[in-house]
Amino acid sequence: MKRLSKGKDWPIGSGTLNELYALSFFKEQNSDKDFATAKKYYLGSLDKEWTSFNFNMRSKGALVLHRMGNEKTAKLMIQSFKETAQKNEQIGMYWPKKYFSFESHIATHANIMAAFAEIDKDEEMIDQLRVWLLTQKQTNSWENSASTADACYALLMRGSDWFAEGKEVTLSFGNTPINTEGGVAGTGFIQRRWNANEVTSEMRQLTVNNPTNHLVWGGLFRQYFVPIDEVKQSEAGFTIKRELFVETVDEKGKKLVPVTNQALKVGDKLTVKITFTNEQDMSYVFVKDLRAAGFEPIEQISHYEYNDRMSYYQSNTDTDMEFFIEFLPKGVHQLEYSMFVTKEGHLNNGYALIQCQYAPEFSAYSDGMKIKVGE
């Protein structure tokens, strides 16, 4: 280092920090004089430069300084994590993901948990960090095998013992308890059926009793039959709205007029706009837009698209237009496509559906629609 420095400062990089992090797991250290000098120099750099590090480097740096005896700066770094964290009762405590980063968001969160467990030792806060990891697995796939191993270790080795309580959640419709035995191993999925004459007014309310001290969650799927144009909007983790417009041309040029304000005829060009929102990042999202038999999409060939921060595969079938979204960042998004009116009559145009295939309980659909074409 002396030969290369020539009076210059050598900032600590991720490679050097990872070496220090690896060394911090061992009590016995290299006694070489030059090694000790370099180590002291980079520990000093770490003490001064940690505010410029990303969250992953900062978590490792906090552990390095803590294990090397610099408690003051290590606790200061933990305090910075607390001040920049976001908290949500449903999804726990987390730090916003920086998109287009090469760092694994799951591995970074697991490293931060390790720093909290070893330095701060606040079990309640660590449990909040565990909740976020679990909710991410609920709606997202962990990036790779290394991230999965980091997450599993963080969940099983940090925080309070959620398995020690030995209490089970109970369910009931009104005053009628639901037998939860015989569920699918791993998921706990159960299916119960009631005939129409067995359904009572008290079944409008489902009661979930959680006797444990930690968060639990599940999904309720209710299936029933109704005419397709009488489907009413429903929301669970998503909201979705579908709008149909007629493309018209006047002296000012092209404009879109809602179908409710414009009589339709064969040959009209329609534009479909599907607007949906999601409150958290989700993997493997499916959007289906049912259409009337008298409408024909302009785009007939399946293809990939990138639009509105979404990369998706668009596929046309005989009854609907389908969109397969690999990753959907939280926020408001819109899909759009066009079609022509090909037949007259009173047409049922169905509804639009969005669902997370990784967690099917997160879904929503729009109102059903009936459209008149011609006289």
**Residue 200: is its pLDDT beyond 90?**
no
Task: Specify whether 145 is located in the same domain as 241.
Answer: no
Among 170-184, 235-249, 312-326, where is mean pLDDT lowest? 170-184
Residue 281 falls within a domain, yes or no?
A: yes
Cβ-in-10-Å burial (0-12, 13-18, 19+) of 342 comes to middle
**Residue 338: is its pLDDT beyond 90?**
yes
Task: Express each pLDDT in 284-301 by its tens digit.
Answer: 999 999 999 889 999 999
Contact present, 17 and 46 (Cβ < 8 Å)? yes
pLDDT value, residue 160:
78
Cβ-in-10-Å burial (0-12, 13-18, 19+) of 358 comes to middle
Please list the residues that pair with 274 across neighbouring strands: 242, 335
Task: Specify whether 64 is located in the same domain as 194.
Answer: no
Domain range enclosing 175: 170-209
Residue 165 falls within a domain, yes or no?
A: no
Task: Specify whether 199 is located in the same domain as 339.
Answer: no
Contact present, 341 and 245 (Cβ < 8 Å)? no
Mean pLDDT of the chain: 85
**Residue 1: is its pLDDT beyond 60?**
no
Name the pTM for this structure: 0.73
Task: Specify whether 174 is located in the same domain as 318.
Answer: no
Looking at per-residue confidence, does 158 or 58 come out higher? Answer: 58
**Residue 66: is its pLDDT beyond 90?**
yes
Residue 41 falls within a domain, yes or no?
A: yes
pLDDT value, residue 297:
93
Mapped onto helix, strand or coil, the DSSP state of residue 316 is strand
Task: Specify whether 137 is located in the same domain as 108.
Answer: yes
Task: Specify whether 23 is located in the same domain as 145.
Answer: yes
Instruction: Quote the strand ranges of the chain, DSSP E.
Output: 86-88, 92-94, 170-173, 176-178, 206-209, 234-236, 238-250, 253-258, 269-278, 282-290, 295-297, 303-307, 310-316, 320-328, 331-341, 345-350, 352-356, 363-365, 369-373
Task: Specify whether 181 is located in the same domain as 152.
Answer: no
To which residue do tokens 């909740």 refer?
131
Residue 275 falls within a domain, yes or no?
A: yes
Task: Express each pLDDT in 248-257 by its tens digit.
Answer: 888 788 888 8
Q: List, in order, residues 6 or more apart from 333 with CB less than 8 Å away.
A: 275, 276, 277, 278, 308, 309, 310
Q: List, in order, residues 6 or more apart from 182 with CB less than 8 Å away.
A: 190
Task: Specify whether 197 is located in the same domain as 237.
Answer: no
**Residue 184: is its pLDDT beyond 80?**
no
Cβ-in-10-Å burial (0-12, 13-18, 19+) of 107 comes to buried
Query: Tokens for 288?
Result: 């289906």
Report d(CA 296, CA 269) in Å as an integer.
Answer: 10
Query: Beta-carbon neighbour count of residue 151 at 10 Å?
Result: 23
The residue from 157, 183, 198 where one domain ends is 157
Task: Specify whether 367 is located in the same domain as 296.
Answer: yes
Domain count, the chain: 3
Task: Specify whether 76 is located in the same domain as 98.
Answer: yes
pLDDT value, residue 9:
67
Task: Express each pLDDT in 166-182 by its tens digit.
Answer: 677 888 887 888 887 87
Residue 220 falls within a domain, yes or no?
A: no
pLDDT value, residue 178:
84
Task: Specify whether 142 is located in the same domain as 182.
Answer: no
Task: Specify whether 184 is located in the same domain as 270.
Answer: no
DSSP 237: B
**Residue 273: is its pLDDT beyond 90?**
yes
